[in-house]
Structures are given as C-alpha cells and as structure tokens.
Amino acid sequence: MAHSPPPFHRGLAVLLAVYGAVLANTVLLLGAGFLVVLGILWAQGGLRTFAKFGLTVLLPVGVGLVIIWGFIRQGAPGSTSEASVAVGLLFATTTTMRLALLAGVFLAAVFALPPERMVHLLKTFGIHGRTLAIIVSTLNLWPDFRRHVEQVFAGRCARGLMPDRRLATRVRQLPYAIRTLFISALGQGLDRADSWESSGLIERLDNFSHSGSVSEDYSQLAGVFWLTLAIAWAVTSTLFFLGT
C-alpha cells in the first residue's frame, strides 16, 4: 500500500464520491465516474476482485432490474408518464451503474485496506472501542461468507433444487444465499466484539494504530490527488443534478 492517501484524505474522498454517486442522474456521468474508479482499482491490482463481485452480485441485480422495471413495470418508480420500456430500461441501467460505482469506490478506498490501515482510517474519524471492534470484525468476514454460501449450495443440491455446481447455476442460486449473509455477518460481528471485549482485545485495538509503522509511508500527494478527483466529481454531479 505504498503511496496510500492519509486516512483523512481517503475518508473525505469516499464521502464526496458517495455524495456524487447519489446525485449523479445520467448514465454518461455515472459511466465517467465508474471509469475513474476502475483506473484506481487497476492501479491497486483489484480489478479481478471487482470482476468477481460484478459477476456474482451486480450482474444478477442488474438483470433483475431490467426484467422488472424494463419489461414488467415498463417505467421508473413514481413515474407519472405512460408506460415505456425505454424509461424502465434507463432506470434499471442508471441504478445498476450507481451500485457498481459505489461498490468500486468502497472496494478501492476501504475494503482493499489491510487491517492496520483499516483501524487507522476508522480511528481518524472518531470510531473507537466496541463500535470499532464490530466494524473491523464485520468487514473481515469474507471467509465466513464463502462458507455460508457453500453450505446453502450444498443443501440445495441435496434437496434436488440445484442441478449442478457450474458458474451459471451458482449465479442463479445466489439470491437464496444472500438472504442469510448480512444477518449472519452482523451476528458474528457482535459475537466477536463480545469475545474481544472479554479478553481485552478492544483496548489493544484502540492502541494499535499508535505505532509509527502504520503511517510512515502515507503520501500527501496521493491524498491531494484523491481529494481533487472527489471534489471535481461532487461538484460536477451537483451541477448536473441542479440543471435537470
């Protein structure tokens, strides 16, 4: 993580990027922001991870949105105009692009961080103690997620509800696994926080980022670059939003 932006710059850039993604209301604008995030992911070597997420989560969600709003509802939520496939497809595409952009932002700026930098980032924004422990433990549950997914797939195969374990079949079956993932993640995060508190690990976690090795190679130049991109994105999204 050489030349990593300092925590304050990184966190503020994430907030501005999320703000801009929420306000962005055109496919072209969302696409431009998405290309910038892809460039950052490429520089970090995270494109493969994002591609896996896109195939297993974003693609099924996007297809579902296209089917529901493009061909069944034929319009956008709250639309007062006549039913139109084009309007529904535009809403589905815009929503999918916004989700992809937000996922890319968090993967590049937050989830790609090693544990010590994650702790440093959270503590910079005033998160301490039990809350810090719950967040850190929840954000590091990917191995548990994979185990839960495999358990769901195995159970559905045993009941004859899943004919094979090919990639296409796994993607179609993913909605059945997603239902339990977030609930289990929160529950396990709370359980781990209780365990850490009883063993004194929360106090150690609070003091962990005081070591100089965590912050010695932060790059102010990278921080300014990230903030410049984020500010430009937020301002552009605001101008487009106010102009419509």
Select the highest-mean-pLDDT range: 27-41, 120-134, 208-222.
27-41
Supply the range of the domain harboring residue 226: 7-242
At 237, the pLDDT band (50, 70, 90 cuts) reads very high
pLDDT tens-digit series, residues 72-93: 888 777 766 677 888 889 999 9
Question: Any idea which of 51-55, 133-137, 202-206 has the lowest mean pLDDT?
Answer: 202-206
- Check residues 146 and 50 and name the one with the higher pLDDT: 50
In a domain, 207, yes or no: yes
What confidence score (pLDDT) does residue 31 get? 94
156 assigned to some structural domain: yes
Element holding 107 (H helix, E strand): none
3-class DSSP state of 5: coil
CA-to-CA separations, 190 to 13, 59, 113, in angstroms, rounded? 29, 31, 22
Q: Who's near 108: CB < 8 A, 6+ residues apart?
A: 37, 40, 41, 44, 46
More confident residue, 118 or 28: 28
Phi, psi of 79 (to 5 degrees): -70, 135
pLDDT at site 76:
79
Q: Which residues pair with 160 in a beta bridge?
A: none
3-state secondary structure 193-243: HHHHHHHCHHHHHHHHCCCHHHCCCECHHHHHHHHHHHHHHHHHHHHHHHC
Q: Is residue 2 part of a domain?
A: no
For the chain, the distance separating the N- and C-terminal CA atoms, rounded to the nearest angstrom, is 40
Task: Give the residue among 4, 111, 93 at the shortest CA–CA distance from 52.
Answer: 111
Residue 111 CA to residue 104 CA, distance in Å, equals 10
Residue 233 lies inside a defined structural domain of this protein: yes
The answer to the question of residue 31 being in a domain is yes
Q: How many domains does the structure of the chain reveal?
A: 1
Q: Which residue in the block uniquely carries the two structure tokens 């639309």?
A: 79
Nearest CA-CA partner of 1 in 213, 243, 179: 213
The pLDDT of residue 212 is above 50: no
48-60: average pLDDT: 87
Which contacts (CB < 8 Å, 24+ apart) does range 149-154 have?
149/174, 149/177, 149/181, 152/176, 152/177, 152/180, 153/177
Which pLDDT score is estimated for 213? 47
Is the residue at 1 inside a domain?
no
Which range scores top for mean pLDDT: 39-53, 133-147, 170-184, 203-217?
39-53
Helices 115-124 + 201-208 axis angle, to 10 = 80
Name which of 76, 101, 100 is nearest 89 in CA terms. Answer: 76
Q: Which residues contact 175 (CB under 8 A, 6 or more apart)?
A: 60
Least confident of 7-16, 104-113, 186-195: 186-195
Is pTM, for the whole model, over 0.95? no
pLDDT mean over 12-29: 93
Query: How many whole angstroms from its chain centre is CA 30?
Result: 16
> Do the Cβ atoms of 87 and 66 come closer than 8 Å?
no
